[in-house]
Structure 1
Amino acid sequence: MTTHQPPSPQDFADIRALLINCSLNKDSAQSHTGRLLGAVGDLMSRAGAQVDTLYALDYCLPPGVYPDMREHGWAEDAWPETVWPRVQQADILVIGTPLWLGEESSVCRIIIERLYAMSGELNEKGQSSFYGKVGGAVITGNEDGVKHAAMTLTFALSHLGYTIPPQADCGWLGEIGPGPSYADPAPEEGGTPVGFDNEFTQRNATIMTWNLLHLARLLRGGLPNYGNDRRAWEAGERFGWRNPEPLPAKPQE
């Protein structure tokens, strides 16, 4: 068996990761998604990265696609002063969500909406402020839908400007239908908690975590801004674009 030498923790000491848990449990200690998301965060921490965790239900985050929903009728909004600064500081964003009816949670959609609200924010290069950052998804449940939810989330992050590395999602599914969830106590006394011995989940979570770290390291300094500088586009620069030839006129019948 080939032995791989792990990277030094110093290799990722300047990498910041934010893990957002979109569980529907009011008590974060009861979150199954939090257990798998926590395993990813633990691996990142031991690799030397700085890991910040955020439990979405701990904050008042109204739905909507504006940076500050207090300007649109809501009395309270933790996004602009509390949550958004933590998103800005992070090189890596991992969104964790449970599955319900094969879809991500309603809380997760609010997070995506609020991220979308910031799509007009630009960095110093005139690019989306999400450029140079990487994103991934952690999904848990006891029904089908991991790949569908991961597809939705990673597309949303990519559309906003995040870079998505290979194999940027992981998940755990119990048996189809009602049943135990990830990290539930073992059905037999002294047994392994549910999902902990699932090698497929372990492998995908590990690969996702390291790919996020490696890509975040590669993207330090961001992407070149030729062709994606929105300020230059607004000033008239077209970066080589030209319209194709028009379709020929249809012959008269």
Structure 2
Amino acid sequence: MKFSNLSVLYINCTLKKSPQESHTETLMKVSQRILEKENVAFETIRLIDEDVAVGIYPDMTEHGFEKDSWPEIFKKVMAADVLIIGTPIWLGEKSSEAQKLIERLYAMSGKTNKKGQYIFYGKVGGCLVTGNEDGIKHCAMGILYAMQHVGYSIPPQADCGWIGRVGPGPSYGDTEFKDKKINPPVGFDSDFTNRNTTFMTYNLLHLAKMLKENNGYDNYGNSREEWDDGTHWGFENPEYR
């Protein structure tokens, strides 16, 4: 199985600016080691390190913001076959940075590709979640719904994550907590996390490979441009029969 013609973009939505340690990024690296073995190109962006404005327009400098690095990040989003959104859990929800990212993706979703389809058609999405409280499935549900809604394709088992005990405590990858050495690092021996991270990574690659080999989706029945031009395929509004 060859995946070397694919590329993956990880966007880490931690609330910690570099060079602070991100536990979400620690789990991302587990997935990335798989990509390295499969010769898949990847890049990681820590969103909080960038001047990404809040908003639902492609370039927020046109709407009162002094800076907005989203247009440059969007180029990397479009260059990648797979987008993996990573987030910590806070109060049972994805981070504010993750929500901002989803809103900026939504801002681009009205654009169309060469087939007249929405711009993210043919791209694959997944998510990765870490925390010290319940919420992996809840966060994944919201992120993956949003991704498919704007046009990303979601394969089976497209999420993975790790959570510790409810409440304060060690986070994924920690090696020391309250002056007590923890060996191996926290979470590294979790078969559930290791299995789901592996399955997620390969399922994203499999779907991306299939889509790329078939030039994405056929645009019969899903072209926004053709619909606007009057082509409605098999649709007939019962009110006008």
Amino acid at match of 1:139: V
What's 1:250 paired with?
Answer: none
* Residues 90-129 of structure 1: pairs in structure 2 closer than 5 A: 90-129=80-119
1:13 aligns with 2:13: no
Amino acid at match of 2:94: E
Q: 2:197 aligns with which of 196, 205, 211?
A: 205
What's 1:44 paired with?
Answer: 35
CA distance in 2, matches of 1:56, 1:236: 40
- 8 Å contact 1:64–1:114 — kept in the other structure? yes
CA distance in 1, matches of 2:29, 2:229: 45
* Residues 65-144 of structure 1: pairs in structure 2 closer than 5 A: 65-80=56-71, 82-144=72-134
Q: Give 1:38 shift.
A: 1.6
Identity %: 51
- Structure 2 counterpart SS, 1:12: coil
CA distance in 2, matches of 1:190, 1:176: 18
Q: Give the TM-score normalised by the residue count of structure 2.
A: 0.95
Q: How many residues matched?
A: 236
Q: Give 1:58 shift.
A: 1.4
Q: If you compute each CA radius of gyration, which structure gives the higher value, 1 or 2?
A: 1
- 8 Å contact 1:33–1:97 — kept in the other structure? yes
Q: Give 1:189 shift.
A: 3.5
- 8 Å contact 1:186–1:192 — kept in the other structure? no
CA distance in 2, matches of 1:142, 1:237: 51
What CA RMSD, in Å, does the superposition of the two structures yield over aligned residues?
Answer: 1.3
| Moved segments of 4+, more than 4 Å | none
- 8 Å contact 1:22–1:55 — kept in the other structure? yes
1:32 aligns with 2:23: yes
User: Given the superposition, is the C-alpha separation of residues 28 and 234 from structure 1 closer, same or farther in structure 2, using an over 3 Å criterion?
Assistant: farther
User: Given the superposition, is the C-alpha separation of residues 186 and 152 from structure 1 closer, same or farther in structure 2, using an over 3 Å criterion?
Assistant: same
What's 1:172 paired with?
Answer: 162
CA displacement, residues 165-193 of structure 1 (integer Å, 9 cap, x when unaligned): 00000000000111111011155436111
- 8 Å contact 2:157–2:199 — kept in the other structure? yes
User: Given the superposition, is the C-alpha separation of residues 112 and 201 from structure 1 closer, same or farther in structure 2, using an over 3 Å criterion?
Assistant: same
- Structure 2 counterpart SS, 1:60: coil
Q: Give 1:244 shift.
A: 3.3
CA distance in 2, matches of 1:91, 1:28: 28
User: Given the superposition, is the C-alpha separation of residues 190 and 170 from structure 1 closer, same or farther in structure 2, using an over 3 Å criterion?
Assistant: closer
Flag structure 1 segments of 5+ consecutive residues without an equivalent: 1-6, 247-253
CA distance in 2, matches of 1:58, 1:27: 7
- 8 Å contact 1:28–1:55 — kept in the other structure? no
1:232 aligns with 2:226: yes
Amino acid at match of 1:37: M
- Structure 2 counterpart SS, 1:219: helix
1:53 aligns with 2:44: yes
Amino acid at match of 1:142: N
Q: Give the TM-score normalised by the residue count of structure 1.
A: 0.90
- 8 Å contact 1:19–1:41 — kept in the other structure? no
Flag structure 2 segments of 5+ consecutive residues without an equivalent: none
1:241 aligns with 2:231: no
- 8 Å contact 1:119–1:129 — kept in the other structure? yes
